[in-house]
Structure 1
């Protein structure tokens, strides 16, 4: 560990010494909250001691704790929405800790929680949300299986203000309040898991086996002990511990899915196991496997003179595994080990036809043939110790993410003088094609590209948290401080070989296949995937390599980024009657460096020069920020809670935006007048980008009517500096003489404000209703070469909404859900504004309970066959239209608790 980090660690150690020096009363009280027979644990339950005006909540294992209690006899009350309340008299000794489990006596009320899994999931989440110190939305482990969702990210989209970004119609990245997912923080068991994708920070949450998730928490206002890179918010995935269930549990599920668009069947199986041994050692393990065959039909344009048709056939395979170990010799000491392994592979074959509307009647028929594999390994270990009124938490973590895309083959066939036409209007532009377009004798092989891309993201981290509780003048205080160190290295490497000749043995008609079932119009014949691979294998030695273009693409796409983050914080929590205050400050310092190259392809007819110039490029940046925050929670009554928060947060730019790379193409040719003209185009990263900084204000009101339900309304406002947007910066001071340069830059400023409304209600009849909407408005100012663009915040949607209608009894569970996300600005592309259109999707889930252990289920995903659509400037100007079809799932699940 470097000296600068050692110095900062010493600072936190001094704070810890100060905390431990505070005098404390030795008496303590600890225990679990369970049902009458100890088979059900209650998470997020409110536990209070009225005589001392003290309140706490149970953790994920149903455990509560009070420290620094004066000796005496107290009435301890536990409250849980959906199960009422229970009171127990407890005697606390002058020294030592008393262990006392608390139980609900009213078994009749408890039945609703145990029998109805859907209500149980809602009850746990609502109780945890009500008793939280900050503004949170929560999904319990029980609730995740109640949705027709493929993965964890899709389960999160049901919460207020949440949306997902999809890959081939399947949810992967999660956004909060309409804000770009890259501006959120995602942790798994407190560990920042790296991303296998070379350019992004956001983690695809579909890597996590959902049957090992103990809960999902979305914090929309952060506290100082949380990572600051959370402009949208922070998502915490809590893995299941064996102690989270009161007894041994085994689950198993299997399903078969059918995708209508490709008429393919896809299996999926998963299993989990938890157990406790000798009341001190617990294990939780899960395994999942899925093999999904599906695809999409796509048509896109450049908004000017090109239209491209695309046909995708994909096999997506996932393997997820995790083992969690916990050792708790007593209530005051616990140790844990968390592991996660995920492997994701995409075997993709794409056919495409690009129509170029110029005088030459040019069409390119192309293929993309690749198998991309992503792998994540995450290991974390730590412990928690209670020494009188001091709690010590520590954690050491290591994660490694890799992406491999070896030997991806791209074939391009070109034909000229062909007959076709289009007005290029509408969401699905129609193309009138002459008979010669589908005739492969009019094409010849123009280019073959063999591309291998590799990315690796490796992170090591350490964090230490110290918490001191004390009771002074009738007020309970909790002082907390800590540090977190993160060291991260991101690398991207490419080997690209481009060939443009030596194809004498290639006859296009030998590779033609039947017309694929493309739903958006006339596609024409396809190309045989295996035949093309065989041809490459047999004839590659005779291909002529384009050395300059190959070097340009390979060297320009390779870079390394190192990022070291040091954080320390101090905070205090206190209850002043009905007012709870959490206030403090967090300091984060980032040391950043990147190494890559400025790579330029020079083709100069005037000086007879053809070469690739490679200039090594490395740079370093450093920045720090002091980030104060305060969260207020006021209990107006037992059912009505008001909250307010002011926080400062940040977001670091995406890796692809700050990587040290420039890919420049410079061409000098003689024009018709005999003069030489130079055209220069470039694509570049920007290591000088500043991080986003945001001031966040939140107000909310929550009403809990007493049964399983909540009605809430909130207002939020964010002032954001240095947001990042990709624009054409040609002609600016750094890029004089260039015709086109796409580079990310910092915008000037942006403001985002909105309201968040939610209603969840479970009726005695079995009817279930849930509705939420987040309405936002943003203003962003970007200046490019003196021209001012007033737009929305990039990748921000004005409206996010969800609606669920459900019914559940002893026999069936039914749920119809809809999700809506309004349009958002993607980028400024050559003076045009590119938008992603609004998206509405309907899903259905139905379950039939054979008995308490076994049920069968049927899910219908994307019932309304909603496409993904992007456009330029107005909705009639296509940028991309892609459809995925409906998916139906039939399966069964068995559980033993």
Structure 2
């Protein structure tokens, strides 16, 4: 019956083999082992038969053996309390050459041959803090005098297989804790549990305890120090010490990482100068689906930082990781049950946004326990914020005036945003020790990110200047927009780890879904033409417009006959199966070799649809007038008191009018088809990967080398839209295209341990970046009137990069890190927007706009990091500390252009980026003032240098503090953007500003607890 149920479940899920294996493991997990029976035995000079009879009476088991095997058995004396039956039998049968095997309720005693007498065993256990029993992840465990050892996982659990029996000396090391040694006796074929409780170096740190951020730093630093590759780790405790709510915000604190902003909050993550399309975002080692409309990127504003256990930023790849991460990998580690006692943690904060004068709320709770063989954790987080943004948008053009050419504003727009955001994060983690060195887990994470926006804008289009500072002909546009966004992430993992004949095997089945949905987009624009105004450009990024008459201020003069609404949705789904196998081989004399191989298969679907509608009043219907639809929304202190911004249409009322009076409107088919069909598509991708790698450990030198093979095949269906010589819609034709690409990606990572706290690292790796989904779609938009074709390119191949890294890192005993490194990336087949003139055929002479491979890029830089607690200082000063990092990055991208080939910097690359935080922690008090800064950079590439867009450099100052009220309760204060720093970009040179953004100051305060 069990087999039928398992088969049916597998068939329906489409994952027959992995689910079948899991079911088999679950069934066999119910079988008991000798070690599962706890017994007590007191015998004094009794025969083995008599002792076995006593055990049979107390356990209910039947012991089966041949009398002749026990005839020569000498009397035994034994006293054991609450010991495992396995241990009791080993002692009882010692010297009798008998082995015990459990089957059902019978224990068979059989003689074994002399050469089989000594079987290798297994040592396993948990490493924790002696003071509070909290686990210590990534501790190093070594068997002294041999090369055997292990590194504990994120739950503090370690396993050393294939250990020769005998008396062994174990040594455990952990940064910030005293090294502990323990002598153990491993019997033949035994699985020995050896747990360790380490003492923190409290006295050595001059009275500063390892709590709060320091415990978080210890976890992160140990993970980094013991890693085989170059990575940086942020623990949850570290993230809590910054005023950051989302994973994107937390990542801005990492060396070599920069962020782009969305309404004042970090969103896009740039690693080593490479934008999000060239990086990978994973959860527990599995790629997270996209939550954007065209690309493979994930909006990490949708993942709250208090929902995760830690974040790894992996900068050099190993063959057991996906190769599609030229910049790096952001690996989010979800929470899991770690402690034996029930643990409840959480927080409740209330905040305030200074621009909108609205409150924010931040609530979270997590409960978990690991008892005997079963562990569970449930977690929920809810964050509600009301944000705002004030923006000035300027475009520039050349005008003939007084016989000369002058660059003047072509348009000026003032816009105010009101934004409501809601984040919900849910986590469920279950794990089970199934026995026979097998652990199973089920992990589920759901992150819901909802955003509602209302924006009002006043735009000015300058048709004609009659003087240097006067516009003779100007059109004014007053627009209002309601729009919302759903960006949701769901994933579920079912997997486990097993030890099979000295092979450590792990397996995982993963289902993911990413959603981008914009069901609400209501837009209306009212216009007034033929106006005149004086223009004051004394402050170029804040131009002042003074209307010549009051007509521009009379809302009844603004009219429209159009109303726009639309719906857009993208579903990104995938299913994935992963398998890895590791064998550790002891070469003797502190030498060992780890052999590892595995593979991954992923099937992905990506579908996007758009429905755009322009509803036009029928002939004879009266125009809409702004005075009838004027919104109550206004910004009295727009741009910090620059002006009082008001007079926008209330599109909710217009949407209601449209729904009630649809017969008064007619559709614009050209607008609908041109804005819907080219952007709607469906497709699927297959990824198959396999790898082989080895890790050679020679005393102080670790060498990790191997190769990964990846093959990507895809098939997409798009649309070709044809517009005639007048710009009107003619037809839509379906197009489909399939293609594939593949490659080998070798890597080499070297670590030389100068000492237990100092490493030298070097790496040479190969990586790839896949084209965005939309770039691979065979879509076309043919505009005969403009003699122009916009299209996708399904013939694209992946970008490929060769990456070189060198790094020095030293870890302080007083908890800290000093590191410096250089990197160089040679990227080929770089994707870029390409325009060219069609030669021959039906569209001879047309301008083709598409995406192409062919550009070449080089990125190189320096990364420096210093974080240290100054525990060597006297008295109260030893609570001081610093957290600082700086990256200098340069790049050169050679791009073929329609005018000429250009050498430019990689777009989004910040040449200078860094953090400086001054910290203090002592007597239960913790505080830090933090700055994040970056220099001006190229954000968008034009056809020539004068048309390039640059974003201005910026520094943001934040403050956070906490005070321990009791051992379990803490008060928290967070403040962001203390100086109300603006953001902005410019066109060609800083003389021509494009956008200026003001986001204001925001903060929160409340309580956090750990029970």
- TM-score, length of structure 1 as denominator length: 0.92
Distance 1:793 1:851 in 2: 51
In structure 1, the residue corresponding to 2:775 is in which secondary structure? helix
List aligned pairs for 1:398-409, cutoff 5 A.
398-409=511-522
CA–CA distance in 2 between the matches of 1:211 and 1:734? 58
Query: 380, 386, 397: which one pairs with 2:510?
Result: 397
Structure 1 residue 301 and structure 2 residue 416: aligned? no
The answer to whether the 8 Å contact 2:128/2:134 transfers is yes
How much has 1:738 moved relative to structure 2? 6.9
Structure 2 CA distance for aligned equivalents of residues 552 and 171 of structure 1: 33
Query: Distance between the aligned counterparts of 2:841 and 2:610, measured in 1?
Result: 27
Structure-2 change in CA distance of 1:739 and 1:369 (3 Å): farther
Residue aligned with 1:757, SS: strand
* Counterpart residue number, 2:49: none
Query: What does 1:559-598 correspond to in 2, within 5 Å?
Result: 559-598=681-720
Aligned to 2:1008: 893
1: CA distance, partners of 2:339 / 2:611: 50
Query: 1:429 and 1:659 mapped to 2: Cα distance?
Result: 42
Q: Does the C-alpha gap of structure 1 residues 588 and 444 become closer, same or farther in structure 2, counting only changes over 3 Å?
A: same
Instruction: Tell which deviates more after alignment, 566-575 or 300-309.
Output: 300-309
Distance 1:59 1:626 in 2: 29
Q: Do the aligned partners of 1:80 and 1:127 also contact (CA within 8 Å) in 2? A: yes
1:625-636 equivalence runs, <5 A = 625-636=743-754
Alignment partner for residue 171 of structure 1, among 251, 266, 270? 266
Counterpart position of 1:14:
none
For residue 357 of structure 1, the aligned residue among 443, 455, 462 is 462
What is the CA-CA distance between 1:269 and the residue it aligns to? 1.0
1:670 is matched with: none
Q: Is the 8 A contact 1:115 1:810 kept in 2?
A: no
Q: Secondary structure at the match of 1:483?
A: strand
**In structure 2, which of residues 989, 992, 998 is the aligned counterpart of residue 877 of structure 1?**
992
In the other structure, the counterpart of 2:776 is 658
- How many Å separate the matches in 1 of 2:396 and 2:831? 24
Taking the aligned partners of 2:658 and 2:943, their CA distance within structure 1 comes to: 37
Number of the residue aligned with 1:760:
867
Shift of 1:733: 7.8
Structure 2 CA distance for aligned equivalents of residues 544 and 57 of structure 1: 69
* Residue equivalent to 2:737: 619
1:265 lines up with 2:385 in the alignment: no
Question: Which residue in 1 is equivalent to 2:545?
Answer: 431
Asked if 1:133 corresponds to 2:246, the answer is no
Partner SS state of residue 330, structure 2:
strand
Residues 75-474 of structure 1 aligned to structure 2 (within 5 Å): 75-105=169-199, 108-109=202-203, 116-242=211-337, 244-277=338-371, 279-304=372-397, 305-330=410-435, 332-359=437-464, 360-422=473-535, 426-434=540-548, 435-474=550-589
Matched position secondary structure for 1:704: strand
Q: Which has the larger radius of gyration?
A: 2
Displacement after TM superposition at 1:31 (Å): 1.1
Trace 1:728-743 onto structure 2 (pairs within 5 A): 728-729=835-836, 742-743=849-850
Cα shift readout 1:840-892 (whole Å, capped 9, x = no counterpart): 21111011211121111111111121223222211222232221111021121
Contact 1:657 1:686 in 2 (8 A): yes
Q: Is the 8 A contact 2:882 2:919 kept in 1?
A: yes
Tell me, yes or no, if structure 1 residue 744 matches structure 2 residue 851: yes
Q: How much is the aligned-residue C-alpha RMSD, in angstroms?
A: 2.6
- The answer to which of 346-355 and 623-632 deviates more is 346-355
The reply to whether residue 36 of structure 1 matches residue 130 of structure 2 is yes
How many Å separate the matches in 2 of 1:882 and 1:69? 63
Tell me the distance in 2 between the aligned counterparts of 1:25 and 1:355: 84
Q: Which position in structure 2 is the counterpart of 1:642? A: 760
Q: Structure 1 661/78 Cα, relative in aligned 2: closer, same or farther at 3 Å? A: same
Deviation per CA, 1:727-776: give whole Å up to 9, x if none. 55466789966786643333420101111100110122111201111111
Q: Deviations over 1:279-333 (max 9, x none)?
A: 1111111111122111111122333322222211111111211111111134811
Query: Any gaps of 5 or more consecutive residues in structure 1?
Result: 10-22, 668-678
Q: Is the 8 A contact 2:718 2:734 kept in 1?
A: yes
CA distance, structure 2, for counterparts of residue 699 and residue 40 of structure 1: 35
Q: Which runs of 5+ in 2 are unaligned?
A: 1-9, 19-115, 398-409, 465-472, 872-877
The C-alpha deviation readout for 1:234-257, integer Å capped at 9, x for no partner, is 111111111x23432111211111
Matched, 1:486 2:612: no
Structure of higher RCO (CA pairs closer than 8 Å, 6+ residues apart): 1
Residue deviations 1:386-425 (CA, integer Å, cap 9, x gap): 1242011110011112222124111011211012354778
Q: Distance in 2 between matches of 1:571 and 1:770?
A: 36
* Residues 1:842 and 1:743: Cα distance change in structure 2 (over 3 Å): farther
User: In structure 2, what is the Cα distance between the partners aligned to 1:442 and 1:866?
Assistant: 37
* 8 Å Cα contact 1:198-1:490 kept in structure 2: no
Aligned to 1:16: none
Give the stretch that moved more between structures: 417-426 or 218-227.
Answer: 417-426
Q: CA, structure 1 residues 729+234, in 2 after alignment: closer, same or farther (shift >3 Å)?
A: same
Residue 160 of structure 1 aligns to a residue whose secondary structure is coil
* Cα distance change of structure 1 residues 226 and 120 upon mapping to structure 2, 3 Å threshold: same
Find out whether 1:704 has 2:811 as its counterpart.
yes
**d(CA) in 2 for partners of 1:588, 1:422:** 59
Quick check: 1:516 aligned with 2:638? no
SS at match of 1:98: strand
- The answer as to whether partners of 2:835 and 2:849 remain within 8 angstroms in 1 is yes
**CA–CA separation in structure 1 for the residues paired with 2:911 and 2:452:** 35
SS in 2 for 1:455: strand
Cα distance between partner residues in 2 of 1:658 and 1:825: 26
Given that 2:802 and 2:827 are in contact with CA atoms closer than 8 Å, whether structure 1 keeps it comes out as yes
Q: Which of 771, 795, 809 is residue 688 of structure 1 equivalent to? A: 795
Stretch moving more, 424-433 or 94-103: 424-433
Query: Partner residue of 1:673?
Result: none
- Mean alpha-carbon deviation: is it higher for 313-322 or for 584-593? 313-322
Q: Check the 8 A contact 2:522/2:651 in 1, yes or no.
A: no
Q: Is the 8 A contact 1:67 1:388 kept in 2?
A: no
Q: Which residue of 1 aligns with 2:165?
A: 71
Aligned length: 863
Query: Deviation string for 1:101-122 (max 9, x for gaps)?
Result: 1222567459978652011111
- Provide the rounded CA distance (Å) in 1 between the counterparts of 2:926 and 2:132: 26
Structure-1 residue corresponding to 2:96: none
- The secondary structure found in structure 1 opposite 2:812 is coil
Residue 786 (structure 1) shift: 6.1
Using the TM superposition, name which of 802-811 and 564-573 deviates more: 802-811
Flag the 1:495–1:164 CA change in 2: closer, same or farther, 3 A.
same
Choose which of 537, 543, 563 in structure 1 pairs with 2:665.
543
Gap change, CA 1:889 and 1:647, over 3 Å in 2: same
Measure the CA separation in 2 of the matches of 1:251 and 1:105: 24
